[in-house]
Amino acid sequence: MKKYVFLSIIISVSILMACSNSNVENTKKEVTASIAQSTITKAPPTFEKKPKKELSENFKKYWYAGKAEISSYQLEQARYGEIRKGSAVLIYVTEDFLAKQQVKADRQNVDNIPVLKLNATKKFNTGIYPYSIMQSTFYPVADNQHAVKVSSSMQEWCGHVYSQLNNREQFEISSHSYFENEADQNFKLDKTLLENEVWTKIRISPNNLPKGAINIIPSFEFCRLKHKEVKAYNATASIKKGTDSNTYTIEYPTLERTISITFSNAFPYTIESWVETFKSGFGKNAKKLTTKATKIKSINSDYWSKNRNEDEVLRKELNLK
């Protein structure tokens, strides 16, 4: 009897070992197949899925008339502890954007993302040499996700720098600079509010601007001018409503910086002015100064076709040299 019991135990153990080995082998095959599949297929970029904002007839009539809105501003820019006089221009225009390549689409397609693009430029001199700054923001008119792309470039006689953010699984950021401690960088950040996209959110849906305690990535321009790390900072946002205009303010305590954007309180919510206070200069010369921009003129134009000498009259209309 003992002999049969012993034999039964041996058979049971053998069966268990066979099943165990089979499970291990199956698991190995599943893992191998999974790795192979992930190698073959790369997931397309994903975006936050929020309800799309329904576009009003006023919005469609204004922004899809085949023209851009161009606004010029008298600029007083704080730089190196002094105020520099110059000019700023905000160019807003709607475009179709390719989600995967994250560039302007050459043709219409159901997969395109309709965006409101802002090209924001500044020009001013610091002594003998000039500064030229441009930031581009591509923000979905559906107002249901973060900007799909932000880029920034800055040129002056010491050199030029460039930064770009692509909205994929995370924010993917590349940065190039002639400074040794900045040089070439590539990194990722968790998605959060971007100061650059605030300027386009105002034009689409100012009532949905975030208020109270927020985490926000400052403008690429500010980060570059002040050599601050591109990341999210704690801030407080508020809105002050007036008779003809509203002012949206963001305060960054750790950066000792405040920016306020004033815009008309009726559609199309044009940007009337802005002020930005921060510590300018280095060392003992550093002091709090305020950059100011005040609107001169706005026009709507298909500027891309206005490239003849005779079209320079439009620059005079905008009071641009």
- Map the chain to HEC letters: CHHHHHHHHHHHHHHHHHHHHHHHHHHHHHHHHHHHHHHHCCCCCCCCCCCCCCCCHHHHHHHCCCCEEEEEEEEEEEECCEEEEEEEEEEEEEEEECCCCCCECCCCCCCCEEEEEEEEEEEEEECCEEEEEEEEEEEECCCCCCCCEEEEEEEECCEEEEEEEEECCCEEEEEECCCCCCCEEEEEECCCEEHHHHHHHHHHCHHHCCCEEEEEECCHHHHHHCCCCCCCEEEEEEEEECCCEEEEEEEECCCCEEEEEEEECCCCCCEEEEEEEEEECCHHHCEEEEEEEEEEEEEEECHHHCCCHHHHHHHHHCCCC
The pLDDT score that the predictor gives to residue 303 is 96
Cα angle 162, 167, 170 (rounded to 5 degrees) comes to 105
The pLDDT score that the predictor gives to residue 102 is 82
In angstroms, the CA 227 to CA 152 distance is 14
CA max distance for the chain: 112
In angstroms, the CA 270 to CA 69 distance is 9
Cα angle 100, 223, 234 (rounded to 5 degrees) comes to 90
pTM attached to this predicted model? 0.83
Q: For 190-208, how does the pLDDT look when each residue is reduced to its tens digit (9 = 90+)?
A: 999 999 999 999 999 999 9
In angstroms, the CA 113 to CA 35 distance is 32
Sequence-distant (≥ 6) Cβ neighbours of residue 241 within 8 angstroms? 265
Say if residue 150's pLDDT is above 70.
Answer: yes
The pLDDT score that the predictor gives to residue 149 is 97
Compute the average pLDDT of residues 219-245.
96
Confidence category of residue 105, pLDDT binned at 50, 70, 90: confident
Q: Which residues pair with 79 in a beta bridge?
A: 82
pLDDT, mean over the chain: 86
The pLDDT score that the predictor gives to residue 18 is 43
The pLDDT score that the predictor gives to residue 49 is 56
User: 134: closest CA among 88, 172, 201, 103?
Assistant: 88
The pLDDT score that the predictor gives to residue 110 is 79
The pLDDT score that the predictor gives to residue 16 is 38
In angstroms, the CA 34 to CA 249 distance is 49
β-pairing, 113-126 vs 184-189, is unpaired
What are the structure tokens assigned to 35, written together?
A: 């790795």
Q: For 66-83, how does the pLDDT look when each residue is reduced to its tens digit (9 = 90+)?
A: 999 999 999 999 999 999
Confidence category of residue 63, pLDDT binned at 50, 70, 90: very high
The pLDDT score that the predictor gives to residue 99 is 82
